[in-house]
Amino acid sequence: MNKMGIAKSQRGFTLIELMIASLIGVIVMAAMTSVFRQAMNAMFTVTQRIETQQNMRAAIELMTKDISMAGAGLPTGGLQLPTASVSKVACNQTGTCYVPGDTYPNSGSGSINYMYPILPGFSNGVQNGTVITNAPGAVNDSITSIYCDYNFSLSNFTFTFPSSTQANVAVVSAAVTPNNILAPGGLNVGDLLLFIVSTPGSGTSSGNQGTSIAQTAAAVGEITGLPNNATIDFASGDALNFNQPGANSLASVAAAPAGTTTTVCRLYAVTYFLQVPAAGGTVQVPRLMRQVNGLNAVPVADNIINLQFSYDVINTQAGIMTANSSNPIAAGLSPALIQKVNLWVLGEGLITGGTTSQSMYLASSVSTRNMSFCNSYSSQTTACQ
């Protein structure tokens, strides 16, 4: 009896019991694995969404800054450029032009080559005209904002022209910064300089002192050489085709009579567009690019697949505000009377397919504070300037 009791107390699990226990364990592990996978997918999706939002916010903040400055320092309504041949926008020193429509538009009166504070680029926003298939309607826009750069002030320099292709630079005060045009953040080959010649004592009164100033000439030149800190070259054949003969050229500034004052600033012609780079024969995801004057474009944000703009423009003929015009020039509206820019940016996550794919829009509006003013209470068409 004792031996039988001992043998019975040492008996193990049966095969059926082991199989049931193993099955239960497998089910529990599978459930835990599924929950863990779902948690990882959710975390990856959230991470993608956050990264995409950060990219788009950085892009919109930079574009907002440039667009809000449009027109600062420019003559009211913009500037007529030389008409011997058309000047270019968004091209670098090697001859690469980043947007298909790379010339300045006409002024609406039959003349060509007009520099507006904002240049809309409807359906003209991808380098080489590459089609981005994921973009809604395959429509992508570019935009160019033009304004004076006040971070590197040229008010401490005087400019004289021994010829229309060269300027001599002298420092007014060595104690004032900047006192060297080649200083960090200074001028570069490919930069644009705006020269405005004015004559005191005539024209419209301005300021608290009652001083009157009349603009007698205005021209833009592209820097082609900086041999030293006292000389700037404006040779013909420049990449953006600003240094050409004719009216509104540097020749008119060089020929300014005695007693005139020349005001100079570095212009920023900033263009935003999309680029689809190729590396090793593989097409990469699109990215937003920023290009200034005649310099090389630099990336702003990756995985941006759609860029669209519309404009609120004053219609002087109808006496109304035309809202959300995607192509104001084609509609016969003057870009000089743009009051607000509406922008949409579509970003895409690193994973472009499957359940973890992420894409989203961010939208914003920017008022053009430095551009033309229109008195909506006046019945006169001259109320808009």
- In this prediction, residue 208 has a pLDDT band, given cuts at 50, 70 and 90, of very low
Classify residue 75: in a domain, yes or no.
yes
Q: How many domains does the chain have?
A: 1
User: Would you say how long the chain is, in residues?
Assistant: 385
- Cα-Cα-Cα-Cα dihedral of 329, 331, 336, 341, to 10°? -90
Q: Of the given ranges (126-135, 148-157, 291-300), which has the lowest mean pLDDT?
A: 126-135
Residues 146 and 86: their CA atoms lie apart, in Å, by 17
Q: Is the pLDDT of residue 111 over 70?
A: no
Q: What is the mean pLDDT of the chain?
A: 83
Q: Is the pLDDT of residue 109 over 60?
A: no
* Residues of the chain above pLDDT 90, percent: 42
Classify residue 245: in a domain, yes or no.
yes
Classify residue 162: in a domain, yes or no.
yes
- Among 198, 195, 194, 201, smallest CA distance to 216 is for 198
Compute the average pLDDT of residues 77-86.
Answer: 85
Token pair of 73 as six digits: 């320092």
Looking at residue 93, its pLDDT comes to 95
- In this prediction, residue 204 has a pLDDT band, given cuts at 50, 70 and 90, of very low
Classify residue 145: in a domain, yes or no.
yes
- In this prediction, residue 143 has a pLDDT band, given cuts at 50, 70 and 90, of very high
Classify residue 28: in a domain, yes or no.
no
Q: Is the pLDDT of residue 3 over 60?
A: no
Tens-digit pLDDT profile for residues 316-333:
877 788 999 999 988 888
214 within 8 A of 206, measured Cβ to Cβ: no
Looking at residue 37, its pLDDT comes to 73
Higher pLDDT, 383 or 56: 56
Query: Which residue matches tokens 């592209």?
Result: 222
Q: Which domain holds residue 80?
A: 47-375
Element (H, E) at 322: strand 320-325
Classify residue 17: in a domain, yes or no.
no
Residues 12 and 37: their CA atoms lie apart, in Å, by 37
Classify residue 242: in a domain, yes or no.
yes
Token pair of 7 as six digits: 């043998």
pTM listed for this prediction: 0.83
Looking at residue 307, its pLDDT comes to 92
Q: Is the pLDDT of residue 270 over 70?
A: yes
Compute the average pLDDT of residues 78-105.
Answer: 90
Query: Which residue matches tokens 């005191």?
Result: 200
Q: Is the pLDDT of residue 381 over 50?
A: no
Pairing of strands 142-149, 118-121: antiparallel
103-111 long-range contacts, CB within 8 A, separation 24+: 105/329, 105/335, 107/78, 107/80, 107/334, 108/332, 108/334, 111/80, 111/83
Classify residue 8: in a domain, yes or no.
no
Residues 364 and 228: their CA atoms lie apart, in Å, by 43
